[in-house]
Structure formats: C-alpha cells, structure tokens
Amino acid sequence: MISYSQTPIQEIESPFLTEAGVRLLVKREDLNHPEVSGNKWWKLKYNLEQANEEGQDTLLTFGGAYSNHLYAVAAAASALGMKSIGIVRGEETLPLNSTLRFVKTRGMEIHYVSRQAYREKQNANFLHELEEKFGRFYMLPEGGTNALAVKGCLEFSMQLVAETEFDTLCLPVGTGGTMAGMVAGLKQHQQAIGISVLKHGEFLNEEVKRWLTADASNWRIETGFDFGGYAKSNRELLDFIRMTQEQHNLPLDQVYTAKTLFGIYELIRAGKIRRSSVVMMLHTGGLQGALAE
C-alpha cells in the first residue's frame, strides 16, 4: 500500500470571519502524500487492495486532460510496480500539459478517444474493446468513484469526526463519491455542503444519493461557484488563489479547492452558514493543477 502521512488542521483567521462569527478550519489532506494526495488517496486505498487480491498488474481508468484522478492513478501504479492506462477524453494536444506530462513520466499509457466514444465508457461493448486492445486490467471509473472509493472516504470521515469538533463540512464535488462517503461518516448534528465544480451541477444530488446506503438529510449541493465549468477559471478566481496563499499560506488549485473556499465565503455572506458555526473545509489536494498551463 502507498504510504500515508497524518495531516494538520489549519485555521483561517480574518476580520471577515470574526465579524461573521464563523470559525473556518481546513483539513490539509493535500499533505497526506506527495503525489497521491487528498481524497484520491482514500478513494484508491481499497481499490488498490482489491486489485492486488485479484492478482491484477494493470490499472485502467478514465479522465480529462487535467484530471487529478489520472495523476493519482499513474503515481500509485508506479509506486506499486503496476502498469497504468489512461483513457483520455478528446484529441491529443501538443505540447502536453503538466498533468499529462507527469502521468507519462510515471509510465501511464495514454489512449485518446473522441468525446462521443468517451460517453460510452460504461458500455459493456466499449469495455470489451478495451480488453481486446490492452488485455486484462483492473478498471477504475472516471474520478475513481465506486463502492470501494466511498468506503475509503467513509473511513476518512469517521477519523475526521473523531479528531475534531465542527458543525459543517464543506468540500468540492465532481462525481459525488467523496461527498457520499463523508456524509455517511458524520454525526447527526453535523451537515455537509458540497460545492459543485461542474456547470449545471444539480445532477450531483442524485449521484450522491446513489452512493449513500441510508437516507440522510444533513447535506446539500451548492451550485453557482463553478466559474464556467470544470477546470474553468477567470481572473477573479486566480486573484483569489494568490490572495489566499499570501494572506494565509494556504495553497489552492483552480479546479477544486479554490472554488470551494470561494463558495464558503459567499455562503457566509449570504447567511447560508449560521453564526457561531465551526466550518471544516476538506482540502482535497490536486495542487499539481494549480495555475497549470
């Protein structure tokens, strides 16, 4: 198994938060591993164990050109002496961006497919074609979300709840797996707010429900903080990232964590996070994508 480092909780202090009567803590899971960081470590934990039990030596997964998941899978496979294959949405664009350059250095074989073909990634015929092309492999879905990933995130949620007291957990949501696992581990008096990093992310409510094994009403997805969609950003968000680094020594990426923190501030301003709350933001890593070209 790949190593794991215990991570700190950092408190963000500012006149704005003091006036709002809100304490803001950040669980720095970006520091849990130098390459397989954040929630990706937890989502891969039991999948890697399962692949080992099945005697698999190749991981195959899916993602876009800036995928944190591809990055983590390539790093994990390399560390464990496994092969990895990344099915990447869209055509090859040269020069490769920093994420795709990295996965190639870790030995990942990149296979580009059209956006139309990519939509068939869960189709049995498409998967059979991949088996014929690449041979036997252990498949990880896009974003790594499956039952074993949710199990890993539940384990992390229970550890976090035992580690510190908080009222509200805030985290970015891309596929819903991390959100589902984290919700399942909360106490009854705690709530979770997911910040959609996808445009028109209302559908994520159903994705989270799909992975929850019990009814839960202590969570919600907030949309409107995607800055144009997945991996999209603008000057306002980039300036926010730089300000946060300078004022609080907190590194963020523009795909997930910056949108989450920005959303938290806006929810506080709108009164959607009550006074006297202790808010815990989950830093999900992915800093290799920070200000990437």
Residue-wise pLDDT tens digits, 167-184? 999 999 999 999 999 999
Q: How many residues does the chain have?
A: 293
Residue-wise pLDDT tens digits, 222-269? 999 999 998 899 999 999 999 999 999 999 999 999 999 999 999 999
Amino acid at 183: V
Q: Which domains does the chain have, with CATH numbers?
A: 9-34+157-289 (3.40.50.1100), 39-144 (3.40.50.1100)
Structure confidence at residue 293 (pLDDT): 46
DSSP 119: T
Structure confidence at residue 291 (pLDDT): 52
Cis omega (within 30 of 0) for bond into 95: yes
Question: Does residue 58 carry a pLDDT above 60?
Answer: yes
Residue-wise pLDDT tens digits, 197-207? 999 999 999 99
Instruction: Give the rounded percent of residues in the chain with a pLDDT score beyond 70.
Output: 98
Distances (CA, A) of 98 to 93, 104, 195, 197, 243: 12, 10, 25, 20, 23
Confidence of residue 122 (pLDDT cuts 50, 70, 90): confident
Task: Report d(CA 160, CA 147) in Å as an integer.
Answer: 20
Instruction: Give the rounded percent of residues in the chain with a pLDDT score beyond 90.
Output: 92
Return the HEC string of 51-97.
HHHCCCCEEEEEECCCCHHHHHHHHHHHHCCCEEEEEEECCCCCCCC
Supply the pTM of this predicted model: 0.94
